[in-house]
Amino acid sequence: MSVSSEKQGLNQEYSLCMPKDFERSRNLLQQVYEKQVVLEYIFTRGITAYGGIRVNNRGFHKEVSVKYSIDQWKTASVIHAYHSIFYYDSNTNLFQFKLTITNDELLLMLSTKDSTSSILPMSISFAICYVVHEHNFWDNNYSLDYILEIEENTEKRSKSILLDDAFRVQIAKDYRAISHGSDQAGIVCGLKNLGGTCFMNSVLQSLLFTSPLTSYFLLNEDMKNISVSNEIIVNEYLNLIYLLFCKKYAVIIPVPFKQIIGHMQDIYFENQQQDAHEFLLFLLDYLHEDLIRIKLTSIIVDLFHGTYKSTTTCIDCEHFSINFETFVCLTLPIPLTSRCTLEDCLQHLYEDEYLADDSRWFCSECQRLCNGKKQLEIYKLPKILIIQLKRFQLNHEFNWIKNDTLVLYPADNLSLQQSCPSSSSQQALYTLYSVISHQGSLNDGHYTTFCRDNEQLQWFECDDEKIKYFNSDKLDSNSNAYLLFYIMKNAT
């Protein structure tokens, strides 16, 4: 094959895929104790493979790497795996790796495509090395090497979960989906907690019940043509939402989604407790960026973006300046009391802020730093209103403490017309459909979600993989409410 034809071949799209006879590890822990290092799972997206490696915890100075080859080990490349979690119950560690085939490697494969070989020319071989105090332990699938095949994408084989039945089955295997059973309430699918990942599960369940967003991903024609190699977050979110919504499964294990976002943001790589509000903003931002690349518009902007209007006035000359700022989440302070209403929290948000001393404002009229007054109001309301109740704050000793004040929030007919004078009475009317609650302290807490199905008008309690019917009357006594999700009544 000539160099020009090889480069022309790179204009095609290629994908890594699992061999049909590939078997995942059975009796995993027994194999770990016998072999020290075992491939626990692997999944592919485009020309990238993600995997998890379980190893025996033999010492503190250890590392894991993956050696892979595209030409029967004539030329080998090594990548290092990242430590993820230590399992106390089995005294083992999990390391994760990401292996992406480069254009140069694809060129080499294409150049040997017609050569005779005992290994498929369009495939890669790999083995795993576990090093403890310079002692090597190898897992190469019982001397057979692990193999990943590379195939050329064609119109006959789509890589969208909405179009390809074979790909849909593979995604269900990647998420180790468990078929629906009698233990789960209704048809809602649970999410397995990976060890401190309830923050992620609660956000995903709330977004699943955000009906305009879910409908967009599952029904919009643009979602059928996204490229897994270029829009990895939005593609994986589509895979996840499909499994949660298709009504076939009771529980899925969100390892693929978790590992992919971990490679995008380090703090989400390990299985540790994180803030649900921060993760929500992270996910919406990445979905927005991917959607902008696909079609130059974003459903995230249309649904979630609102606008603040802030007016700063000089105390000396009364000159004022107006600024506008986009927000995705309305963060409300909570009064220091045992009980208050959501309206009380809103009033605290709009209290005048006086700018003095180190916070003085530069007045363009006076041409100097002056004392000022800042007023805030909502200029444009979003279709999906997310409210964060600011429960965590630093005390005088710089320790994080939690405010357990009971905030009473309406489930129906929340009106924000007073907070947003530019809106009509209909535009400012909202209905609650999800609440993320946080029990415990900042460092030792647990997230759960209460969600309403708009079709069935039924509330559910989502506690990771456990789904129960929920009596909405109990929302009135929920002193752990942290994130409130409202939908505008006339939103489409």
Tell me the catalytic residues.
198, 446
- Nearest partner of 252 among 148, 173, 354, judged by Cα: 173
3-state secondary structure 280-304: HHHHHHHHHHHHHHHHCCCHHHHHH
Beta bridge partners of 124: 148
How many angstroms separate the CA atoms of 202 and 467, rounded?
12
- Judge whether 472 and 375 are in contact, CB under 8 Å: no
Cβ neighbours around 460 below 10 Å, total: 22
**CA distance readout (Å), 243 to 88, 108, 119, 167, 316:** 30, 37, 35, 12, 61
How many angstroms separate the CA atoms of 92 and 82, rounded?
14
The tokens for 168 are 């849909």
| Degrees, nearest 5: CA angle 255-256-260 | 115
Q: What is the β-pairing status of strands 384-390 and 392-394?
A: unpaired
| Degrees, nearest 5: CA angle 295-297-300 | 125
Coil vs helix vs strand at 216 = helix
